Amino acid sequence: MAAISTFQDALFRVRSLAELANIDPEIIEGLSHPKEIIMVNLPIRMDDGSQQYFSGYRCRYNSTLGPTKGGVRFHPNVNEDEIIALSLWMTIKCAVVDLPFGGAKGGITVNPKELSPMELERLSRAYIRVLADFIGPHRDIPAPDIYTNSRIMGWMMAEYDSIKRTHAPDVITGKPIELGGSLGRDDATGRGAYLCTLELIHKMGWNLTDMSIAVQGFGNGGYHVARLLQQAGCKIVAISDSQGGIYSEAGFDVESLWQCKQQSKRMKGVYCKGSVCEIVEYKTISNDELLILDVDILIPAALEGVITKHNADNIKAKAIIEIANGPILSEVDDIIHNKGIKVVPDVLANAGGVTVSYFEWVQNRSGQSWTLEDVQQKLKEKMITSFSAVWDLAEDEGRTLREAAYVKALRKISNAVEAHGTRDYFVHN
């Protein structure tokens, strides 16, 4: 039997939860089909004079609530199925946190680590050249994602401006501060997940300083959520990257691990004071082993589909905070729920990034520049309000947090569609 695709898995969850929420079948059908998809082949002149072709994608899934919004990832595994699934999740995510956006996603199938800086710039600009009429401040607004960053967003904005003969900082978010980016964007995804984690700990009546936490994935999101939770008093006992992980019951100093990784490109248990790092006692573990550690909170912050029917029964955490998109396959939702594990779903937990991207878009459109304190306070208010709404819905209707988040989003989208009129309106009026 063939494995279910990422999009099929995402769509199965949307359809089943839409039926649970008694959403009009016409609206469910509409959400089952992406609005627009473009696939391109990008010819790039390499530094050695040769020409290589790279596959690029962009999907605008649904624009019911506003212009579409979503990141651009550069990764060897990028494919059309993944991009469509991610754009569907973005549609739900924007609705969960009440942003005036629909969902989109883009990407290029490439290992950016194998490209020189100039090759990377050529590729980034070529991508925008073919998408210049597909995106726009009122249509579709890209942002950074896996292996893209503020510099790449700056190149993309500059290329768009050149093609359109205008200055449009609101066409892309996640830009350098000097080019119209927003303060607070760098740690927004991790900070949003951190705020959700604090809310969950509070709602469950747990003691913050008793919490042991394992983080799978030590990129931007994983690093910042681990750093902030440690500063709040939690114990970070395990962290991993794509090469593997480390574990120590005594916990780690997250900033030291990050500093060491930036220098050595490897995960090692260290404690750093200034530029001097000392090895501390730790155990080397695999990414699979990290997922089944006996910890209070598990934070999958890497890629999708890491918790499956093969390991779900062995998950021991009391709670899971999903920073990665789709880390738990829909086929094991019931297993996780029946084990009594609280899951803060990705469409809520990792919404900090798109929320601050929205703040950047608003600043660009209004010609304002907010302080870091303003951005972080607005993010805190948005995340706590959204978490509380999902929590209350779950409590009132006897649902899981994932079910409640999807129901909240689907009802918002449904109300917007029904304002135009569905079959019931046209038949009965």
**Model pLDDT for residues 13-37, shown as the tens digit of each residue:** 999 988 888 888 888 999 999 999 9
The ranges assigned to domains in the chain are 35-179, 188-349
Q: pLDDT value at position 264?
A: 77
We find that the CATH architecture of domain 35-179 is 3-Layer(aba) Sandwich (3.40)
3-state secondary structure of 248: coil
| Contact assessment for residue 27 and residue 18, using Cβ atoms and an 8 Å cutoff | yes
Give the β-pairing of 140-144 and 68-75.
Answer: parallel
How many other CB atoms are found less than 10 A from the CB of residue 32?
12
DSSP single-letter state for residue 215: E
Query: Degrees (nearest 5) of the Cα angle 318, 323, 325?
Result: 115
Query: Degrees (nearest 5) of the Cα angle 76, 78, 81?
Result: 150
Q: For 57, left (φ over 0), alpha (ψ -120 to 50), or beta?
A: beta
Active-site residues, by number, are: 105
CA distances from 105 to 136, 144, 338, 405 (A): 14, 10, 33, 20
Cβ contacts of 415 within 8 Å, gap of 6 or more = none
Please tell me the CATH code under which domain 188-349 is placed. 3.40.50.720
**pLDDT class of 102 with cuts at 50, 70, 90:** very high
Instruction: Report the distance separating Cα 7 and Cα 79, nearest Å.
Output: 11
Q: What Rg do the C-alpha atoms of the chain give, in angstroms?
A: 21
Instruction: Report the distance separating Cα 162 and Cα 88, nearest Å.
Output: 31
Q: pLDDT value at position 22?
A: 85
**Model pLDDT for residues 232-241, shown as the tens digit of each residue:** 999 999 999 9
pTM of the full structure: 0.92
Please give the structure tokens belonging to residue 117: 């800086």
